Amino acid sequence: MNYATQDIVEALKRARDAKGLSQRALSKRTGVPQSHISKIENGNADIRLSSLIELARALDLDVKLVPRKAVPAVESVVRSTAPTVPATPAIKELNRNLDTVKALRIAYPELNELKKLQESFQTLRNIGNIGKELESLRNIGKPIRELQQAYKSISEAGQRTAEQLRAVQDAAKIPAEQLQSLREAVNAAQNLRNRLVHDIPQTSLPRPAYSLDDDENGEEVDG
């Protein structure tokens, strides 16, 4: 995704968050499949002009071409009128979890569970309706931070050789119990992601029978 496209996508995401709309709700307003909205916001699909116009109008935005010399003045006006999205405790917890996972992926680059968690957290950050999920996010984050603490305790500067650190980074060296807790966190994050993306009440979906990764045709999947 180039910088110009990224700016447009970020503006759409901010506007959706400000209106408190889920991707599913925006899809209903525009006719653009929820799965395609998700791909656009995650930088996994180029946004077509027709989709851009529909999404913008649904978010009370407009698409205009302006003279290049007028861009600084237009950007100044946009900044002064742009709505702000409060950093709720749930959003702070989600960002904390995502930052931790990103750091751990450097330490454990081959650990697939961390990759799955990062993907789920990034999708959750784009959904915008996680305000009531603080406790769920804390529970998901607990084994992640336990792994982070375990890594820190054995990799402090000056106490381990490069060879020993490489051994630490081997996923097989993670205790089985800790690895199982991490896998449970992956499942919980994916369940939460699927439930919120599709606006499904928690009591009606104890165990999703699908995942967003199965959506290969660019169409919305209903549970």
pLDDT tens digits, 33-50: 988 888 888 878 888 888
CA-to-CA distance for 223 and 220, rounded, in angstroms? 10
63: CB partners within 8 A, 6+ apart:
49, 52, 53, 56
pLDDT > 60? residue 213: no
Does the predicted model carry a pTM greater than 0.85?
A: no
Task: Considering only CA atoms, give the Rg of the chain.
Answer: 20
pLDDT > 60? residue 204: no
CA-to-CA distance for 203 and 28, rounded, in angstroms? 23
Give Dmax over CA atoms of the chain in angstroms.
60
What percentage of the chain exceeds 70 in pLDDT?
74
pLDDT per position as a tens digit, 60-117:
888 888 888 887 887 787 777 665 556 688 888 998 998 899 888 888 888 899 999 9
**Confidence at residue 186, expressed as pLDDT on a 0 to 100 scale:** 94
Instruction: Name the residue type at position 5.
Output: T
User: How far is Cα of residue 182 from the mean position of the Cα atoms in its chain?
Assistant: 18
Residue carrying structure tokens 């653009």: 32
- Cα separation values, 74 from 36, 79, 82, 113, Å: 29, 9, 12, 44
85: CB partners within 8 A, 6+ apart:
14, 17, 18
CA-to-CA distance for 209 and 195, rounded, in angstroms? 11
Q: Residue 187's pLDDT band (boundaries 50, 70, 90)?
A: very high
